């Protein structure tokens, strides 16, 4: 039987987590962000890119702010990609 070698995990590196959001289901987005908020890795940075094209998409910013609060390791970016509404 092979003996496995275990290397201790170093938690001193920064890890970036990028979340892309385009007209997401509000409950799904909230659960996603709550899951991210529970992560305990000390060097994590969270960026959510909101593909927002109208005021109808502002709810994603609101949910991000509600869940992430004033956490300085988390930010969002509003990026309009000029999607057209389908028929």
Q: Which long-range contacts (CB under 8 A, 24 or more apart) does 29-36 make?
A: 29/60, 29/63, 30/63, 30/66, 30/67, 33/63, 33/64, 33/67, 33/68, 34/67, 36/74
Q: What is the pLDDT of residues 45-61, one digit of tens each?
A: 999 999 888 888 899 99
Domain total of the chain: 1
Q: Does residue 2 form part of some domain?
A: no
Q: Does residue 36 form part of some domain?
A: yes
Q: What is the pLDDT of residues 21-31, one digit of tens each?
A: 999 999 999 99
pLDDT for residue 83: 60
Q: Does residue 68 form part of some domain?
A: yes
Q: Does residue 66 form part of some domain?
A: yes
Q: Does residue 34 form part of some domain?
A: yes
Residue span of the structural domain in which 60 resides:
15-78
Q: Does residue 5 form part of some domain?
A: no
């Amino acid at each position: 039987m092979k003996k496995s070698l275990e290397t201790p995990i170093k938690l001193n590196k920064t890890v970036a987590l990028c979340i892309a959001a385009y007209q997401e289901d509000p409950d799904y987005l909230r659960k996603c962000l709550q899951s991210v908020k529970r992560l305990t890795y000390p060097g994590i940075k969270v960026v959510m890119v909101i593909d927002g094209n109208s005021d109808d998409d502002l709810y994603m910013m609101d949910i991000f702010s509600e869940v992430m609060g004033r956490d300085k390791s988390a930010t969002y970016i509003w990026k309009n990609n000029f999607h057209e509404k389908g028929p």
